[in-house]
Structure 1
């Protein structure tokens, strides 16, 4: 198998399964582990995967974005812990923005039920979840619905946000890095996120360790804009400390 074809198969496998293992790839393709490691280094240099100990996972980009259904199957326990921790940061906020995505949905579910809230969201699933609560007023942003995430985007959603002042925004991203900030593959999604960051007094980023160091197509915010970053313990303490030097409190749960 030629190197180009082998690397294409590695990327396809990573995108389909969510991650790849060096030993399994070597066995499946009949090559040495070092050959696979070399392929992964090349793919990482091209921004297609990020290597881990013993494997790699795909990086989302302008040409590839995982679906919401796929995200509900990956790192579920970690996302649940992150969501519970993020929801506990509500403090005295009365108006809340909840981003699109699976972890923000879990945050919405974990919000306290005993107090009234006004929630603004682009996510149809989050809106449906919270609208059933008696003490929550839900504002669903209008616009084009993206089938991959079941959330509204484009200038209609951004324009609605521009007229609001929000106490706390729970923001997600496809990637976060100290060099390139928070990124997402789709410019229309990036514009909604950018506006949500701009109109919010406080901002919390939540995401699993695979988001860190990953870089996607559209930058919409810098880590310095956030008061807190919530992630899981697979992000190393040393890397968490590097992000904390930029200003946010970093919580590993």
Structure 2
């Protein structure tokens, strides 16, 4: 059917489309579009999402950090290098968990004197190579999949702390739903880290946009800056900027 081909062509161009956009493009009702999307999903040609469709599975699954660190390596390195330029000498910063912020730990200028508070064991281990950095490792239970800590002990340490910036990775960014991760306790800790920082910087490769995972961290508008790679769609960039959020795109 010609209408189905138009839907797939548009989806290939934009990666994510809404029912409303398709109604306007094709001049048919929302009921018709939803039936089309259902049929195309049954043929494994797309994934239906809330209010639209995506080219990729919009639901992020929990995977071990050893598996995640092998994905989008070039993009993560570029994002980490860009994020490192946000850090100034004598800064006090928070670094959450995830493979992209782990790459940030490797990219930090060895000449800068810093205080770093982190929930990530891998970030802390990487930073021990730099004698100019004081490291405060949050305590608590350890998540095997992410090699990071969580729980009341970590929350209590953050209670009386204020840092200039939080660098945070996420498992999914849905422009309407917000930022998510695969673990409820990790989301809870991320919220507390956000409350302890003056500026929230999210490091995320373009594959995470249009996805949502089990545990919500925050609304998109609670973020100050997003750093991502060049494969993000222009449409997504425009919508982020319309919400008043700064975005850096790494080539």
**Shorter chain as normaliser: what TM range?**
0.7 to 0.9
Structure 2 distance, partners of 1:167, 1:187, is 25
Residue 42 of structure 1 and its aligned partner are, at CA, apart by: 7.0
Residue 218 of structure 1 and its aligned partner are, at CA, apart by: 1.7
Q: State whether residues 241 and 250 of structure 1, in contact with CA within 8 Å, keep that contact through their aligned partners in structure 2.
A: no
Deviations 1:45-80 (A, max 9, x none): 48xxx843xxx35622xxx30110111111111111
Deviations 1:195-237 (A, max 9, x none): 0111100110010111111111221222222221011111112
Residue 40 of structure 1 and its aligned partner are, at CA, apart by: 3.3
Structure 1 distance, partners of 2:44, 2:241, is 29
Query: Where do 4+ consecutive residues of structure 1 move more than 6 Å?
Result: none
Match of 1:40?
A: 44
User: What pairs up with 1:93-104 in 2 under 5 angstroms?
Assistant: 94-104=91-101
Residue 127 of structure 1 and its aligned partner are, at CA, apart by: 0.4
Matched, 1:214 2:211: yes
Q: State whether residues 194 and 221 of structure 1, in contact with CA within 8 Å, keep that contact through their aligned partners in structure 2.
A: yes
Match of 1:160?
A: 157
How high is the TM-score relative to the length of structure 2? Answer: 0.78
Structure 1 distance, partners of 2:43, 2:101, is 34
Matched, 1:232 2:226: no
Partner SS, residue 156 of structure 1 = helix
Match of 2:59?
A: 59
Q: State whether residues 154 and 189 of structure 2, in contact with CA within 8 Å, keep that contact through their aligned partners in structure 1.
A: yes
Structure 2 distance, partners of 1:159, 1:40, is 46
Partner SS, residue 193 of structure 1 = helix
Matched, 1:141 2:145: no
Q: State whether residues 142 and 149 of structure 2, in contact with CA within 8 Å, keep that contact through their aligned partners in structure 1.
A: yes
Matched, 1:128 2:125: yes
Matched, 1:181 2:178: yes
Q: State whether residues 93 and 168 of structure 1, in contact with CA within 8 Å, keep that contact through their aligned partners in structure 2.
A: no
Residue 191 of structure 1 and its aligned partner are, at CA, apart by: 0.8
Structure 1 distance, partners of 2:92, 2:166, is 9
Deviations 1:150-192 (A, max 9, x none): 1001121122112210111101111112211111121110111
Residue 238 of structure 1 and its aligned partner are, at CA, apart by: 2.1
Structure 1 distance, partners of 2:43, 2:68, is 26
Aligned pair count reads: 212
Match of 1:105?
A: 102
Paired residue for 1:171, among 168, 174, 193? 168
Partner SS, residue 40 of structure 1 = coil
Q: State whether residues 41 and 51 of structure 1, in contact with CA within 8 Å, keep that contact through their aligned partners in structure 2.
A: no
Residue 92 of structure 1 and its aligned partner are, at CA, apart by: 5.7
Structure 2: any 5+ residue segments left out of the alignment?
1-38
User: Mean alpha-carbon deviation: is it higher for 218-227 or for 190-199?
Assistant: 218-227
Q: State whether residues 166 and 199 of structure 2, in contact with CA within 8 Å, keep that contact through their aligned partners in structure 1.
A: yes
Match of 1:223?
A: 220
